[in-house]
Amino acid sequence: MTVAARPRFPIILTVIAVLLLGALLTLGVWQVQRLQWKLDLIDKAEVAATQAPLPLAEALALEDPEFRQVVVTCRGLNAAPFVELQSIEDGDAGVRLISACPVEGRGTVLIDRGFLPAETVERPAVQAEAAMPVVIAGVVRQAPAPNAMTPPPSGKLFYGRDRAAMAQALGVTGAVSSYTVYATTSANPELTALRPVAPPAAFSNNHLGYALTWFGLAITLVVFYAALLLRRYRPTPSKDR
pLDDT tens, residue by residue, 105-164: 888 999 999 999 999 999 999 987 777 889 999 999 988 788 888 899 998 999 999 999
- Give the pLDDT of residue 74: 92
Counting Cα atoms < 13 Å in the Cβ hemisphere of 4 gives: 11
Q: Say if residue 27 is in the same domain as residue 134.
A: no
Stretches in the chain below the pLDDT threshold 50: none
Instruction: Flag whether 47 is in a domain.
Output: no
Number of domains making up the chain: 2
C-alpha 184/C-alpha 120 separation (Å) is 20
Q: Say if residue 114 is in the same domain as residue 21.
A: no
Q: Say if residue 144 is in the same domain as residue 233.
A: no
Instruction: Flag whether 46 is in a domain.
Output: no
Q: Which domain holds residue 164?
A: 68-183
C-alpha 14/C-alpha 225 separation (Å) is 8
239 Cβ partners below 8 Å, 6+ apart? 1
Q: Say if residue 143 is in the same domain as residue 101.
A: yes
- Give the pLDDT of residue 237: 61
Q: Say if residue 28 is in the same domain as residue 89.
A: no
Largest distance between two CA atoms of the chain:
105
Q: Say if residue 177 is in the same domain as residue 214.
A: no
**Which of 68-83 are b and which e, b meaning 16 or more Cβ less than 10 Å from the residue's Cβ?**
bbbbbebebbbbbbbb
C-alpha 66/C-alpha 181 separation (Å) is 10
Instruction: Flag whether 200 is in a domain.
Output: no
Task: Indicate whether this model's pTM tops 0.75.
Answer: no
- Give the pLDDT of residue 135: 94
Q: Say if residue 151 is in the same domain as residue 228.
A: no
Q: Say if residue 114 is in the same domain as residue 157.
A: yes
Q: Say if residue 216 is in the same domain as residue 170.
A: no
- Give the pLDDT of residue 36: 83
Residue 201's CB is within 10 A of a number of other CB atoms, namely 16
Q: Say if residue 34 is in the same domain as residue 109.
A: no
* Strand ranges in 122-222 using DSSP code E only, listed in sequence order: 133-141, 157-158, 176-183
Q: Say if residue 31 is in the same domain as residue 108.
A: no
User: CA separation (Å) from 65 to 35, 44, 46, 77, 126?
Assistant: 21, 10, 13, 22, 30
Q: Say if residue 112 is in the same domain as residue 77.
A: yes
